[in-house]
Structure 1
Amino acid sequence: MPSPHDIATLALESEVDWPRDLDRAPLPGLTEIEPPPWNEVLGPLFPRGGPNGLVLKDGKTIVEWGDPDRCDLTFSVAKSYLSILAGVAVADGLIASLDDAVNKTLPGPAFDGAHNGAITWRHLLTMTSEWEGELWGKPDLIDRNRQLGPGADNSRKGQHRDLQMPGRFWEYNDVRVNLLSLCLMQLFRRPLPEILRERIMDPIGATGDWTWHGYENSYVDIDGVRMQSVPGGSHWGGGMRISSRDHAKFGQLILDGGVHDGRRLLPEGWTESIRRPTPVNDAYGMLWWLNTGRAEWKTGPEDSFAAIGAGGNIIWIAPRERIVLVARWIDAPAVDPLIEKALAL
């Protein structure tokens, strides 16, 4: 049987092959493979620390490694935070139905026309919107034909692909996720970091150290107030800078069904709906990765799910086992062995 020491040793010895000076280097698999001007960084980047993380079981820390209190960029893990803010919008009645067209609530040029006008909130949340347009100087074309995972062939990334009807095709597209973020801010009429802090992070006892950075050109005026929209990752800089310990508290809230210390923070059933497989991609829910058929993590239970970001950032949750595992800057081949050891504790 593995010991906590075994888990810590594995994680510390399995650092992702990414530079630590992220503020100077092209981002691997992101701006590194994009031609100018598409690769222009629009938000701040920061040097990163080393591998760190922790494992919670039944809400208690059973092992930690590295410096889990260090705040680092977490890349696309931020997308899963957007899914939780969407749940808050549902709770507040700002979204009556996920299957409503977005332009029913937010009319405007972004959703003009028959194609974009058919896009629903569910389409945006499941990466199936097929939205066509440009946001913050980045066209959706940047991420067409994008592939993820080991052996991904991104030789056609950024090339034309005929769009399908919204809901008919799944594609991991950061421009479209950034559009969702802007739409949520327009619903709340306040910057999303304020909503997240007030409604989620402060109530669960997160530190005040985390930040969420936007782009230099992602400001809009809402009710006469200048606000910055934040991205669902750090593809072009910006994004969420947060500690593993705060990630773990967030993950525990999801594991506990959106309830913390007897107080419901998310609509009943929301944490189940975010991990319901998307019809056109059963490995993905609403901005969370799933383990359908145990295809993603062979050592993990099929009902496990995770928030995943580039650079080896992950919040992995096993509901029946009551486990939350947070790892930062870990090499992808080490994730399955790490999960296996965590399950055996």
Structure 2
Amino acid sequence: MSNLREAIAFAQAAESRWPHSMHMPDGQFVMTYDSGETPPDSEVLGPVTPRGRASGLVYRGGKLLAEWGDATRVDMTFSVAKSFLSLLAGVALGDGLIRSLDDRVADYALDDGFAGEQNKDITWRRLLTQTSEWQGTLFGKEDRIDHNRVVGLAVAGAPKGTRRPLRKPGSFYEYNDVRVNRLSLSLLQLFKEPLPSVLKRRIMDPIGASSGWRWDGYRNSTVAIDGKPMVSVPGGGHWGGGIVISAHDLALMGLLVAQGGMWNGMQLLPNGWTAELVKPCPVAPFYGLMWWLNADRRQFAAASQRSYYALGWGSHIVWIDPDHELVTVLRWIDRKQAPGFVERLLAAITS
């Protein structure tokens, strides 16, 4: 247990350097500052929640092994929201709202967002693997804002936000929050129900999550669905908003995925969906369906290549290691230090 305590102490000492107010001294939101954005690209559209301290949990074999910090405090979780979107896409597939991930989104006649030459061949899978190359403006944010954005192993050819020639959908990976928000809007149009409501009813309540989590939208992201106003929620907190949630509730989500979408005898996610989440994208083998893969052990050198994780800037990590039956949540850890924690955790449980 002493080695486990040392791993936890490491995680606490490696806390993110982001300000607790979530704003820099000049008042800029730390996320857009960290992204190198300037006005008007950096305009914040959703609520910003001041952050807590480092926290986390480790489950092994479905049982709580360790906990530190305030695991019940709700905090912004940034791009971990993308991994929640992928779960909702699975629910849509299971419900028959999506017939096949390889269907063209345009064929579902949701709106004119996929009507142009650049967008007409985009499939649901391409949206989920961030290879859509969708072109357009959504809620005042143009796709160009995240051109040349480096996240993961991608290499940018120019500074972030510099417009580049678009490629054929499916041929090029780019981490682009405008396109993720386009996926979220498309799922809203399928369900015809606010995504936070779908998530609560179909996933979070059945797994016993708290009532404290929320999914904030933008001040300008209300749309009409069958004549009813509904808020389209973002797939992260890039411009504010997103999923605000506790480490405890993130761990429950991780346990659901680790268990193949099964919870207390109920198949909450379609059978086989969690395996689909971790199939490598052909043009970005480090990425699945909005879940990161430990391909070639490049992210976590000490961990199995079969391990995978949800990741949000700041950093927030839900790491799943099937080889050791581990589900680990890290909140507000310096991202560069996360591999060091994983190494220490694995050493502690295998020694």
Query: Which residue identity is paired with 2:95?
Result: D
What does residue 11 of structure 2 align with? Answer: 11
What does residue 313 of structure 2 align with? Answer: 310
Structure 1 segments of 4 or more deviating over 3 A? 149-155
Describe the SS at the equivalent of 1:220.
strand
Q: Distance in 1 between matches of 2:157 and 2:37?
A: 10
Give 1:107 deviation, angstroms.
Answer: 4.1
Describe the SS at the equivalent of 1:284.
coil
Query: Which residue identity is paired with 1:195?
Result: V
Q: Distance in 1 between matches of 2:46 and 2:56?
A: 26
Give 1:339 deviation, angstroms.
Answer: 1.1
What does residue 140 of structure 2 align with? Answer: 137
Query: Which residue identity is paired with 1:331?
Result: D
What does residue 299 of structure 2 align with? Answer: 296
**Structure 1 residues 151 and 109, CA, compared in 2 at 3 Å: closer, same or farther?**
closer
Q: Distance in 2 between matches of 1:250 and 1:213?
A: 18
Q: Distance in 2 between matches of 1:13 and 1:158?
A: 34
One of 238, 254, 259 as aligned partner of 1:256: 259
One of 263, 267, 270 as aligned partner of 1:267: 270
Task: State the superposition RMSD in angstroms.
Answer: 1.7
* Stretch of structure 1 that moved more, 210-219 or 144-153: 144-153
Describe the SS at the equivalent of 1:198.
helix
Describe the SS at the equivalent of 2:319.
strand
Q: Distance in 1 between matches of 2:153 and 2:316?
A: 15
Residue 240 (structure 1) aligned with residue 246 (structure 2): no
Describe the SS at the equivalent of 2:135.
coil
Q: Distance in 2 between matches of 1:53 and 1:154?
A: 36
Give 1:237 deviation, angstroms.
Answer: 0.3
**Structure 1 residues 141 and 210, CA, compared in 2 at 3 Å: closer, same or farther?**
same
What does residue 82 of structure 1 align with? Answer: 85
Q: Distance in 2 between matches of 1:233 and 1:26?
A: 18
Q: Distance in 2 between matches of 1:292 and 1:269?
A: 21
One of 21, 26, 29 as aligned partner of 2:28: 26
Where in structure 1 are there 5+ consecutive unaligned residues?
Answer: none
What does residue 208 of structure 2 align with? Answer: 205
- TM-score, normalised by the number of residues in structure 2: 0.95
What does residue 168 of structure 2 align with? Answer: 165
What does residue 327 of structure 1 align with? Answer: 330
Query: Which residue identity is paired with 1:218?
Result: S
Describe the SS at the equivalent of 1:30.
helix
Residue 218 (structure 1) aligned with residue 239 (structure 2): no
Give 1:17 deviation, angstroms.
Answer: 1.4
**Structure 1 residues 279 and 150, CA, compared in 2 at 3 Å: closer, same or farther?**
closer
State the percentage of identical aligned residues: 50
Give 1:306 deviation, angstroms.
Answer: 0.4
Give 1:336 deviation, angstroms.
Answer: 1.1
Residue 180 (structure 1) aligned with residue 169 (structure 2): no
**Structure 1 residues 93 and 283, CA, compared in 2 at 3 Å: closer, same or farther?**
same
Asked if structure 2 preserves the Cα contact closer than 8 Å seen for 1:83 and 1:286, the reply is yes
Where in structure 2 are there 5+ consecutive unaligned residues?
Answer: none
* Stretch of structure 1 that moved more, 291-300 or 76-85: 291-300
Q: Distance in 1 between matches of 2:153 and 2:113?
A: 34
What does residue 55 of structure 2 align with? Answer: 52
One of 227, 230, 235 as aligned partner of 1:227: 230
Query: Which residue identity is paired with 1:176?
Result: R
Query: Which residue identity is paired with 1:26?
Result: Q
Query: Which residue identity is paired with 1:19?
Result: P
Asked if structure 2 preserves the Cα contact closer than 8 Å seen for 1:31 and 1:235, the reply is no
Describe the SS at the equivalent of 1:303.
coil
**Structure 1 residues 63 and 107, CA, compared in 2 at 3 Å: closer, same or farther?**
closer
The number of aligned residues is 345
Asked if structure 2 preserves the Cα contact closer than 8 Å seen for 1:55 and 1:342, the reply is no
Give 1:155 deviation, angstroms.
Answer: 5.8
**Structure 1 residues 91 and 151, CA, compared in 2 at 3 Å: closer, same or farther?**
closer
What does residue 285 of structure 2 align with? Answer: 282
